[in-house]
Structures are given as structure tokens and as C-alpha cells.
Amino acid sequence: MAKKNGNFGRHWFPILTALADSDLHGSGIAREVEALTDGRTKLWPVTLYGSLQEMAASGLIEELAAGTRPTGESEKKRYYRITKRGRRVLLEEAQNLAVLAETALRRTAG
Amino acid sequence: MRYWLKLHCVALRVNGMRERFSAKVYRTFLRLLPEAFAVTYGDDLTRVFVDRLGTARPASPHFWFVWIRAVADLCANSVRLRKKTINSSEISRMSSFPERFFSDLSFGVRSLKRTPGSTSVVLITLALGIGANTSMFSVLNSVIFRPLDYPGAERLYLVEAAWQATETRNAPHTGVDYQFLRENAGSFEEMAVVWSVRQNMISDNGAEQIEAGWTTAPFFNVFGVDPIIGRALQENDESGTGLISHALWQTSFGGDAEIVGNSITLDARPVTIVGVLPPDFAVTLPPTAGLPARIDVWRMPDRQMANGDFWAMDALAGAAFRVVARAKPGMTEEQLNTELAILAAERRETFADHAEAGFELYVSPLLEAIVGPTRSTLYALFGAVALVLLISCANVANILLVKARARRREMAVRAALGGGKGRIMSVVFAESLILALLGGTGGVAIAFWGAGLVQAIAPAGLPRVDGIQVDSTVLVFALGVAVVSTFVFGLMPALIGANANPIDAMRNSSRSVARSGGRLGTLIVGGEIAMAVVLLLGTGLLFRTVGALERVRPGFDYERLLTYSVSLPSEGYAAPSGTHGFYRDFLETSAALPGVESAAVVWPLPLEGQWWYGQYNLPATPELTTKANIRVISGGYFDVMGTVLLDGRTFFEGDVREVAVVSEALAEKEWPGQIAIGQTVHASPWGGPGRDFQVVGVVEDVRYQSLSEAEIPTIYFSTEGWSWNDWEFGVVARTSVPPLSAVPALKEALAGFDATIPLARPVPMTEYVDKQVATNRFVLRLFGIFALLAITMAGIGVYGVIAHAVGQRTREIGIRLALGAQSKAVQKLVVRQGLLIVAAGVLAGVLAAVFAVRFIGSLLYGVPGVDVLTYGTIAGLVMAVGLLATAIPTRKISLVDPAETLRAE
């Protein structure tokens, strides 16, 4: 399980999901998360970078060094990439949630 | 300061001034965050913020939403990030967040208690500013924002006609046009006629005049109303079928549950009651529609009137009906207007008079039609009250600023001893929160009272006044205003406190601190003065307007003039001989009563609110296309009113020819430089083809609709030619006693003629004249209150800044005195400094007022927007207040003991 006692709640889950596909910078993550959640989750700047800082500290993601950022993009934007550990944590949590969600759906359907 | 520079040194790659400005402001807010985090992520944070802001237009709701959310995000997370910093660095084992918060709160309370003077000034200032704003917001909310009280009210429209040839808008419809529209307008679900006449009702309570509404079966679908007893009107109901209001049901029938099937007598004709309307139901139309607020009977229109079937009349001259329609779901105003334009074109092809008049049709959303005319007035008032809030916020900011500066050393010491910046700021925020809650509570209390006050002094022309209340929306507004104003203005001192560099603050003496921050205080106070000047100038101009309106001669003498209404039924009073004969005899009898000098008949009464515009032309042109006021009078009318007969004569009993009297404006327009007597006008006062009337007299212009109107050409016709039945007449009586005290004798005299005819709505003419000035007076009163608040607060602001400056400069003053300066000379120096601030404020205020005056332009009369007398007086007044506010704290200088002050430092 990921770090549970963080200060920034469970935003790490959608953020990891967003990063699972491609490396993104801050605004990209915010947009992707918004799209993933049908506009329900809007990440405001400090929440976003607070979470990113925390996640990087927990080893879920890593900040790309200046040289490895996608070409043609601004050198000044911070790019983030999901780590192996991050990918594993995301998968585990997704499976947990899927089981939970299935149970919830079954119980509410009746 | 260092990291502040670091934050700014990276240029932003964003387009346009707007983003750059927003980004800059956002960066200022980043100071709230822990320094390390802000420096590391500053650019990225700003980029995401700008991205969020997207293409939102400045000041649009979305723009503010993003801003509020972003600031909330900053504030909330600043605490989180700090908690982490503290935890990780293990400087102190902090207690949990709630515990810390309450400890901060109690610290804030203690700290506020330490300075009871400034705390209470802040609270009173905040409460007044918030209270005044919340009161005005409750008015705006109830009058303008709240939807109408009908189900699906957003689909209700007023369908009106425009007659381009005479530039007439808001025109009513003929019965034939209504039926045509109802059958052919496909974008509407339903359309109903709304109209009213005053009729006599005979019941067990005797004879009384009531407002009888005419309507058609769709009325109930259009307004979405169901009768509480009985049934709604149906398509095939006879003309004598109607529903009564809840009020009439209670007063005249004692709430009789078996009312259905009974009948009432309106002007000698029976009306069968089929139902009772709900108690809170009322039809509200814009004032231009001339519909009274209370209508007691809603019934099918009479098919037979003295001059034929009202429904079959297709001439525009007989247009009287208002039409309210419910649009089909999803139809836009534009779509409705497009269809109506096509239908209007068809009417122009069918009827020659429609073509001549330039007949057009259009809709206005019902709510917009009702509240639209008052919107600019209310917005002007809201603007004024917003200035009051700004001034009170400025004052609060100034006081907190002074406190923060005084505490810089305290903060610096705390910081030097390892007190976290966040901890210091959270204390300042706790203080702000306490101030916001207390000030907001006081403001809400004032708002309850203020909303009642506005309701009490509101003029009759302000729609939906009864609904004004402090509801949950208003409370949310008050809370928002309280929190935003206190936090925004608490933020500045918090930042100053938090950025106290320990070394700088400890090294520098208080003197230089005062000078560096004093400039901001001066600017704030200058701004306060400027805003107060704007409000005072508005008040001054409105004051002059009311004075000018009160001096207007409306074209008659309104003192000791009684007006009332009498309506004759067609049974027994056939027009014209029956009605004319009655009035002739009754006026003669009235004039002989004690207390009554003379009496005359007129319809409609001047300034009462009803209008009658007709068309006329000169014999040379065939069409009746020139708009004129029409008045029907008895011969003695001008004598009774004191309206000056400029030339010729008034009407005689038994004039052989058809004659008319015209107003000076008409005579000058049509026959400039000629003698009007003996000329001919072609007109059709009763509908039907026009006839020739010979001009026999010219009278001075009378302002029939409003005191501020320009003179509208007027034609007077004699009651001898009157040809309508079931119609009210106005009576004017010149009295030698207070007007209302003549009413009992007049009632008795009228009963002597016919006991079934009531004397309705006796009102002294002075009341109608007063009503004319009511809106201006209402706005004047509120502006007066706001301006008084503003100048008081601005005075306090000046006082505060000067008192603070004197306090801070005690040492400098002590040195000056020790070196031999006269105490008076030093005082002069300080006073001059204060007056300079005030003078700059006055200048800025006057310049701003020249712009702002157009917002109340429609309320001004008889005074130019830039009125030298008003501007001069107000400038002098404000300078005097400024002098007073400066002089009081300056007197302390004479008490300064040089030796004492030098020792103290």
C-alpha cells in the first residue's frame, strides 16, 4: 500500500493513473485527471504539487532530469514519470478497488 | 525579500496582459506558502493556475470561481505543507490541528482584547459596511434576482405592440388581434388577455368601487394557478362569469364555503362566481400596463358594450388589452420575436390602420418587463453601498496595518526565537476570522433592520417590495462579504508580519518603519476620501433634483385640491346625455357644499398614473398620426385646477359645434406665430373615423404623466361628447378646508343622487405630486445614509493616520521642540500634511464623480451632472471634515514634552 498518512489525501491514485500512460508535466496531469474523472476531480495548483512532492518522496514517481524531458517542450516545466514501485502500487490498489467496487455493486443492485 | 526576487526572475510564457496580471497577483499569494516550497514550485504552480484560468473573461463568474478556489487551495494547503515541515524538522511537537486552531483563536481573542479601542472601531466599521451592503443585496435579491411567483415563470412573456409611426411602445392589443395571435402563434403554449376596469360593486356592505379584471380562459394555464374553490374559467363561459380574489371572498362574503353559484353585481350587471383564487395570487405587470396591484374579480369580458362587441373591434384606436403568454419549452426570446414579426406583417396587410401606424409585435420576458425599469436605480444604490463597504474595508486594513507594524518587533522576536512563520500567520488569520465572524454577525443584525427600513421608505413604483426579506441567499452573501473583506484586508498585515526579517526589524527604529509603511496608509485614506466625495456628490445632486422637482409648476395649483373617482353604470346613465347631465348636476351641488369651492370632471386624472394618448392631425393630412395627450373635461376644469387660460375660452354648456381646447405646446407646434383660435384639428377621441374639432381655447401646459416630462401636446374635449359607458370619471374639487375633510359631505351628496354609486379613492392632489418625487427622494435618502457613513468612516481614517503619524513621530517632534521650534509651527506642519491627503482625495473623488454621475443620470432633474455649486459645497464640506479629523490628534503635539520623549527612546 502507498503511504497512507500523507497530507494530500488520495489524489495519488488518479495522478498515478494519469502517469501510467505517459510522462506528463503539472498542467498535463491536472488535465488528464480531470478528463479521467469526467471533470469531477479538479486539482488546484498547490494540491497538485503538494501531492507530487509527497509522491516523489514516497518513491511512487520521479521527476525527470532536465535532459530526459520530451523534446520540443519547455525545459522549465517539471516532468514526472511513474516508477516501478508506483506502477506496482497502482496495480495493487486498482485490484483492491475493483474487488470492492464489484461487491458494492452487487450489494446495492439487490 | 530574496526569495521574492527569485520568484519574479523567471519570465512567464503566457500570452496577453490579462494572464500576466493574474499570474502576478497569484504569485503574490504564493507568499502564503512555506518559502522552500514556493521557490521550488513557484513557476509550475503559476503555470497550472493560468491553465485553470484558461480563457475565462476577467470578472466573469467563472473567473472569480477559479480565483476563489485557487486561493482556498493555497490557504488550506499552506497549513498542510507547514505541518509537514514542522513535523519533519522536529522543532516542536505540535498538537493536533484543531487544538492548535483553538489555541490560536483564544490567543486572537486575547490579543484583540488588549486593544479594545481599535478592535471596537474595526467591528463597528465592518458591521456597518456589511450591514448596509447586505440590506441592499436583500433588496436586489428580492426585487430583481428572485423569479416571479408563478410555476415555470421563466417561460412567461408580455406580448406588446409597437406603433412605429408615433414611436409608441408598450402598446396594448385589440380583441381581434389577440384572437388572431392566439390562433396563429405556434411558439406559444397559451396566451391570455389581462385588462382591468373600475366598476361599482353592490353588496351587503353597500356600494364600493372595485378593480374588475377582464381575462380569458387560458389565464389559468398561463399563470399556472388553480382556484382554491370552484373551477377555472372555460372557453365557452358567458361574459357574466368570474372568479373572485381571496381578499374579496373574505371581506365581502365572510369566507363563505358555498360561494360558488352566487353572483355579485358589477355596474348593475350580475356576475356569477364560479371560483375563488388562492390568497397569495396576484397578477403583476409593468407600470406601463396600468394594471392595479389588487384585482378583486377576474371575469370573461363583456361581449356587449354601449359601442358594440369589444371582441369584434379591430381598430387600433380601441386597443386596450394586455396579453401575457406562456412560451413553449425551449423557445428563445429571439424565436418568439421572429414569429411575431411575421404575424405583425400579416396584420399590416389585413388592416389599413395597422399599416399606417407601423404596427409591430414583440415580447419581453415578464420578469424583465417588471423589474427592468428599476434595475438602473437599484444598481446605482448597490454601487453606492459597495463604496461604503470599500471604505470600511480600507479603514479596517489601515487599523490592522498599524497594529501589524506595531507588532513587527514582536513578530521578529518570535521569529528570531524560532517561531515558525506559519504559526505567526495563523495567529493573524485567527484574529481576522474572529473579526469577520463578529463583524458579519453585527452586519446581519443591521441588515434585518436595514431591509425593513428600505421596505418602509420604498416608493410605490418599486415592484415586488413586499417580498424583500433577509433569507438564506442573503445570509450567504453577508457571510461571503464578511469573510472576503476581512481576509483580504487581514492578509496584508499578515504578510507584513510574516515577512518581518528579524535583523531588520530589530535594528531599525520605529521611526523609519513608520515612514516606509506610512505611504500605504496615506494612499488608503486618500482613496477613502475620494469614495466618500463620490457618494456625497451623488447625494448633493439628488438633493438639488428633489428641490427642483418640488419647485416645478405642473400646470395647476395642487394645494387644497381633492381628487376622487366616480363610475356610472350604463343602466340609467346612457352616454352622452345621461352621464353629462349627471355630472353637471352633481358638480353644481358639490360646489354649493360647505368647504367645497368648485368642482369639475376630468379623465384621466393628472399624475394619477393612467394615461390616454391619442392621435390627431391637421385637415391637410389624411392620417391620424400625431401623438397627443387626450383629456376629457367639464367646462369648469381649468378654473378649478388653476390652469391658466392663455387665449380664447373653455367649454360652454351646449356648444353648437364640436370644439376643443389645446395646450400651448400643441398650438406652438402646429401654428407657430399664428392665432390658434379658429383652427381645426382632426381627431377621433372615441374611436371610429376622425372628425373636425374647432379650437376655441389655448391653456398653459400641464404635466399629466410626470413632473419631469417635457410638455406633451394635449387636446381637451368636452364631457358633453363623451360616448363610453361603464367608465369611471375623475372629479377634482377645490376646497377651502383640508381636502379629505370635505369627503363626508361629498359622499352624502352623491348618495342623494344615487345610493348605488360609490365615491372612490378620495386622494388629495398633493399625494400624487409627492409620489412623483418619491423615487428620487427614496434614492436621496439612501444615498444620504451611505454618504454619511462614508464621510464618518473616512474622517475616522484620516484621524487614525494622523494620530498614528503623530505617535510615531513623537521623537522627531521632541527634537524639533528641543531645538526651539514652536509647538504651533509643528502642529501646522502636521495639519498641512493631513490636509494634503484630504485635498488629493477630494480631487480624485471629483474626477471620479464626473464619470460616475451617469449611473444616476436618469434620476437627476433640473441640475447639470457637473454642478459647480454642488461640487464646490461638497469639496468644502469634506475639507472641513478633514481639517477636524487632522486637528484633533494634532493637539497632542502641544502636550509633547521634549525631555520626556528623548529619554524614552
Chain B contact set for A46 (CB, 8 A): 33, 45, 73-74, 77-78, 81
What does the pLDDT read at residue B267? 78
Distance from CA of A5 to the nearest CA of B (A): 11
Asked if B78 has any chain A CB less than 8 Å from its own CB, the reply is yes
Q: Which of B33, B48, B81 sits opposite A26 (nearest CB)?
A: B48
Distance from CA of B44 to the nearest CA of A (A): 7
- Find the mean pLDDT for residues B412-422: 67
d(CA B755, CA B206): 9
pLDDT above 90 covers a percentage of chain B that reads 19
What does the pLDDT read at residue B1? 40
Asked if B781 has any chain A CB less than 8 Å from its own CB, the reply is no
Mutate to test the interface with A, among B52, B66, B82 (most CBs of A within 10 A): B52
Can you read off the three cell numbers belonging to residue B391? 471604505
Contact B645, B697 (CB under 8 A): yes
Choose between B249 and B81: higher pLDDT: B249
What does the pLDDT read at residue B350? 86
Choose between B287 and A110: higher pLDDT: B287
Asked if B84 has any chain A CB less than 8 Å from its own CB, the reply is yes
Chain B contact set for A39 (CB, 8 A): none
Question: Which amino acid, B403?
Answer: K
Assess whether pLDDT exceeds 90 at residue B291: no
d(CA B324, CA B302): 19
What does the pLDDT read at residue B717? 92
Q: Which of A7, A25, A44 sits opposite B73 (nearest CB)?
A: A44
> Confidence class of residue B89 from pLDDT cuts 50, 70 and 90?
very low
**Does the global pTM surpass 0.80?**
no
> Confidence class of residue B786 from pLDDT cuts 50, 70 and 90?
very high
Give me the phi and psi of B866, to 5 degrees please.
-110, 85
The CA-based angle B258-B259-B264, given to 5 degrees, is 150
Question: How far does CA B94 lie from the centroid of its chain?
Answer: 54
Distance from CA of B431 to the nearest CA of A (A): 24
> Does the beta-carbon distance from B73 to A8 stay under 8 Å?
no
Assess whether pLDDT exceeds 60 at residue B14: no
* A23, HSE (Cβ side, Cα atoms, 13 Å): 16
Contact B489, B481 (CB under 8 A): no
Q: Directed axis angle between helix A12-21 and helix A26-36, to 10°?
A: 100
Dihedral Cα B846, B850, B855, B858, nearest 10 deg: 120
> Confidence class of residue B740 from pLDDT cuts 50, 70 and 90?
very high
Chain A contact set for B33 (CB, 8 A): 46
Asked if B507 has any chain A CB less than 8 Å from its own CB, the reply is no
Chain A contact set for B37 (CB, 8 A): 49-50, 53
Chain A contact set for B43 (CB, 8 A): 76
Asked if B52 has any chain A CB less than 8 Å from its own CB, the reply is yes
Chain B contact set for A78 (CB, 8 A): 41, 44
Q: Which of A7, A45, A76 sits opposite B73 (nearest CB)?
A: A45
> Does the beta-carbon distance from A50 to B45 stay under 8 Å?
no
Choose between B522 and B507: higher pLDDT: B522
Mutate to test the interface with A, among B19, B31, B77, B83 (most CBs of A within 10 A): B77
Chain mean pLDDT for chain B: 82
pLDDT in tens, B455-479: 888 887 788 887 888 888 888 888 8
pLDDT in tens, B348-368: 888 878 887 788 899 999 998
Distance from CA of A53 to the nearest CA of B (A): 9
What does the pLDDT read at residue B641? 95
> Does the beta-carbon distance from A49 to B37 stay under 8 Å?
yes
Question: Which amino acid, B827?
Answer: Q
What does the pLDDT read at residue B637? 94
Assess whether pLDDT exceeds 80 at residue B139: yes
> Does the beta-carbon distance from A76 to B70 stay under 8 Å?
no
Chain A contact set for B36 (CB, 8 A): none
Domains, in order of start, for chain A: 9-109 (1.10.10.10)
> Does the beta-carbon distance from B10 to A42 stay under 8 Å?
no
Q: Which of B10, B48, B72 sits opposite A48 (nearest CB)?
A: B48
Distance from CA of A24 to the nearest CA of B (A): 13
Assess whether pLDDT exceeds 90 at residue B308: no
Choose between B356 and B742: higher pLDDT: B742
> Confidence class of residue B513 from pLDDT cuts 50, 70 and 90?
very low
Assess whether pLDDT exceeds 80 at residue B525: yes
> Does the beta-carbon distance from A44 to B80 stay under 8 Å?
no
Task: Kindly identify which residue of chain A lies nearest to residue B30, measuring between CA atoms.
Answer: A46
What does the pLDDT read at residue B478? 87
- Find the mean pLDDT for residues B581-606: 90
Assess whether pLDDT exceeds 80 at residue B283: yes
pLDDT above 70 covers a percentage of chain B that reads 87
What does the pLDDT read at residue B211? 86
- Find the mean pLDDT for residues B398-422: 70
Q: Which of A8, A45, A50 sits opposite B70 (nearest CB)?
A: A45
| B46-to-A51, B11, B25 alpha-carbon distances in Å | 16, 11, 10
What does the pLDDT read at residue B695? 93
d(CA B581, CA B826): 87
> Does the beta-carbon distance from B41 to A49 stay under 8 Å?
yes
What does B396-440 look like in DSSP terms, one character per residue?
Answer: HHHHHHHHHHHTHHHHHHHHHTT--HHHHHHHHHHHHHHHHHHHH
Distance from CA of B520 to the nearest CA of A (A): 30
Q: Look at A48-57, B291-300, B686-695 and tell me which has the smallest mean pLDDT.
A: B686-695
Chain A contact set for B70 (CB, 8 A): 44-45
Chain A contact set for B69 (CB, 8 A): 42, 44
d(CA B685, CA B703): 20
What does the pLDDT read at residue B423? 64
**Chain B, window 29-48: residues with a beta carbon less than 8 angstroms from a chain A beta carbon:** 33, 37, 41, 43-48
d(CA B493, CA A28): 36
Q: Look at B148-162, B377-391, B818-832 and tell me which has the smallest mean pLDDT.
A: B818-832
- Find the mean pLDDT for residues B401-409: 72
d(CA B67, CA A44): 10
> Confidence class of residue B399 from pLDDT cuts 50, 70 and 90?
confident
pLDDT in tens, B661-676: 999 999 998 898 889 8
Task: Kindly identify which residue of chain A lies nearest to residue B82, measuring between CA atoms.
Answer: A7
| B576-to-B197, B388, B580 alpha-carbon distances in Å | 19, 60, 6
- Find the mean pLDDT for residues A68-90: 78
Distance from CA of A12 to the nearest CA of B (A): 16
Question: How far does CA B686 lie from the centroid of its chain?
Answer: 38
Q: Name the DSSP letter for residue B312.
A: G
| B805-to-B73, B401, B500, B892 alpha-carbon distances in Å | 38, 13, 21, 12
Chain B contact set for A75 (CB, 8 A): none
Distance from CA of B7 to the nearest CA of A (A): 14
Task: Kindly identify which residue of chain B lies nearest to residue A28, measuring between CA atoms.
Answer: B48
Asked if B51 has any chain A CB less than 8 Å from its own CB, the reply is yes
What does the pLDDT read at residue B352? 79
pLDDT above 70 covers a percentage of chain A that reads 81
Mutate to test the interface with B, among A31, A44, A78 (most CBs of B within 10 A): A44
Chain B contact set for A31 (CB, 8 A): 51
Q: Which of A8, A31, A78 sits opposite B44 (nearest CB)?
A: A78
Assess whether pLDDT exceeds 60 at residue B94: no
What does the pLDDT read at residue B731? 93
d(CA A60, CA A52): 9
Q: Which of B13, B74, B80 sits opposite A74 (nearest CB)?
A: B13
What does the pLDDT read at residue B516? 42
ipTM of the complex: 0.81
- Find the mean pLDDT for residues A73-96: 84
Considering B231-245, B515-529, B628-642, the range whose residues carry the highest mean pLDDT is: B628-642
For residue B622, is the peptide bond before it cis, meaning its omega torsion is within 30 degrees of 0? Answer: no
Dihedral Cα B404, B405, B407, B413, nearest 10 deg: 120
Q: Which of B33, B43, B84 sits opposite A46 (nearest CB)?
A: B33
What does the pLDDT read at residue B11? 36
pLDDT in tens, B548-580: 988 889 999 999 999 998 888 777 787 777 888
> Does the beta-carbon distance from B70 to A44 stay under 8 Å?
yes
Distance from CA of B451 to the nearest CA of A (A): 38
> Does the beta-carbon distance from B10 to A76 stay under 8 Å?
yes
d(CA A101, CA B692): 90
Q: List chain B domain ranges.
A: 1-94, 154-372, 509-555+767-905, 561-736
